[in-house]
Chains A and B, each alone.
Chain A
Amino acid sequence: MKQFGTIFNFELKSYFSNKVFVGITIFLVVIIAILMFFPRFVDVIPEEEEPTENLPIMLVAGDIPSSVMESISDTFSNYNVVFSDESVESMSKKIANDEAECGFVFSGYSICSYIVNNISMYDNNIALASELISESFRFDKLSESGLTKEESLNILTYEPEIETVSSGKNQRDNFFYTYIMIFALYIVILMYGQMVTMSVATEKSSRAMELLITSAKPVSMMFGKVIAACIAGFVQLVAIFGAALLFFNINKSYWADDEIINSIFDMPFDLFIYMLIFFILGFLIYAFLYGAMGSTVSKLEDVNTQVMPVQIMFIIMFFVVMFSLGSGNSDNLLMKICSFIPLTSPMAMFTRIAMTSVPLYEIIISIVILILTAFAIGVLSARIYRAGVLMYGNPPKFSTVIKNVFKGK
């Protein structure tokens, strides 16, 4: 236990005195500060009226219905709408010569042509125009059949009021922070997993291992290293998310309109606790595996190939969860199974809890399985470590490692 404490302190200290570690943390906090303070500064700078001559020119020609003519400038407010008598041919020539950006040639209530040079990814002019015309058409027809302007407006803009009574989760609200948390978990595990691997592999390649292994028990080594990495990662996350929360609260009034940002910072407390639990346990399991893999390489160059199996497993789990989350059906059979398998459950179960209603007993079973597995993998990886650290030369096959582990100490 004393050894564990010594190793833990030493490892933790080396994280916090690592310039890259501190640098990245500060950098991320600064980025978040800039993001969170952004609307405040934008508000302070007086918005200048954008001069109309800088807007791209949209040419409109042909037989334009009067109601379309009235509102077309409003619909395409980011264009300088110019009416003309051009034909399709002369208009496309002008557009090809960059004299205008795009144009419409109408013939009554149906669009004749939309003329544009390059159709950009986000070009929604056709949709806008179509909506404008159909609305004008309905409005005009209703007016023609004897309704007053107001009556037809009421009919056209009618919207029912629907009240939602939900017994489960609001997936739309939960989506963003679930997404962010899963992503944070993914990044942190990958990053710290690599750090643990490197730390073990460096000790081995610098041969400090020879001394360490004769000075300390492998279990103390493994747990000391991994838990130090876990705490370091945790502190980093707390710094980043804490800064985000702090800056958000300072600038809360400026963010009032942004639903996404508000939904992220409006995370329910119980979900936050679940996040902590799954974060820590998931982190531990993977960090142990990464550490064990690190102990089986003898040259730093081999680290990447050796951690590949763990990496691939982890990325697959990430994609399973991400696809399920994206598809809107987070409670499919695959997710249910994954939420009980220790390697996938941290992300899968957390997603299910956040997005759907999971019975409490399922959560408890999943957590208990996770805790037991984390401990078992910890001990197992200490044995792999012990067997692996003194093997030099080519990285051993996984089967050889396992054989050595079970063949005694």
Chain B
Amino acid sequence: MIYMDHSATTPVDKRVLDFMLPYFGEKYGNASSLHSLGQEAKKAIEEARVKVAKVIHADPSEIYFTSGGTESNNFAIKGVSFADKDKGKHIITTKIEHDCVLNTCKWLEKRGFEVTYLDVDKHGLIDIGDLESSLREDTILVSITHANNEIGTVQDMEEIGKTVKESNAYLHTDAVQSVTKLPVDVKKMRLDMLSISSHKIFGPKGVGCLHIRKGVKLDPLAHGGGHEGGLRSGTENVSGIVGFGEAMKIGEEERPKAMPRLQKLRDKIMDNVLKIDNTWLNGHPQKRLPINANFSFKFIEGESLVLLLDAKGIEASTGSACSSKSLKPSHVLLAIGLKPEEAHGSLRLTLGKDNTEKDADYLLEVLPEVVSELRKMSPFKKDYGEFE
């Protein structure tokens, strides 16, 4: 099997797994316990906090462990909104955010907050001037994803940071897709908050963190025994946290070698897939995650494409409505200007460290055949025809 869906999830790195295993059966202490077993767990959590902080150039005290990206994004957005609701009720985000950001914003809109959803251009980039003119006195938060999970477009976070710093608003970024793939520096980007998920970086599922800059006040989502500085109560997921810390360390250490290799492989895939007729690239040609390629193939539908690729041993994903629970095509592809019928025929390939040259060659052999097979079945060959 060739796995090319690393933006969905990744396998746990063997070294990470080995690092975690003692924390299930032997070192199972509750970090709040006074005895040595508890203190051993506490120490392990603090070591993981140091590892995570180092990668993003933060202070360990600014790292708050959570259950992952969705919780971190909810925590950042709701946490600031509730803490700062007397300062203002305006939030700025973009039209291409992950559902966990968009649906949190929609939920807040029902509770009296006002949200501006910034447009993006055909490559998925926001316009800094747009952001600037959307900032108001009562804007309390700007939340913009660093690298988009579907089309891989990378926003200029330093520019965004500079712009937001001129205002009263806090800046949050979802860095779930970019950490360990791109340099991420909370100081250079002037971030107040940043979300990370462990299972996207060869760590275990169910763990992640929110970075909260010192001095930024958030209301907690979960109240209880006062864990994580009183901001995220609940007994810590010790094995998960230590695995996450180790995955961050390994990912960042390997980044300088791994990413150029994967980018080269991705470029080879991009160059060759784009030779298929009626096919184009979604997202920015250069400002994109080194592991991401996203294509649209006209006249076919993405779920069929993904299932036929799966039958040939290649795991990928699509922004087609037919593969989603909502039966709506990807809001990201629509936001960059694709027509619904074009959004249905999309394919996302996201590489990871296990992918080889041989995998890319096999994909390039199989994909054109599968596309052609589906197009032969399709009533459309040159255009979408006319419909009553």
Chain B associates with chain A: no
Q: Which residues of A contact B (CB under 8 A)?
A: none
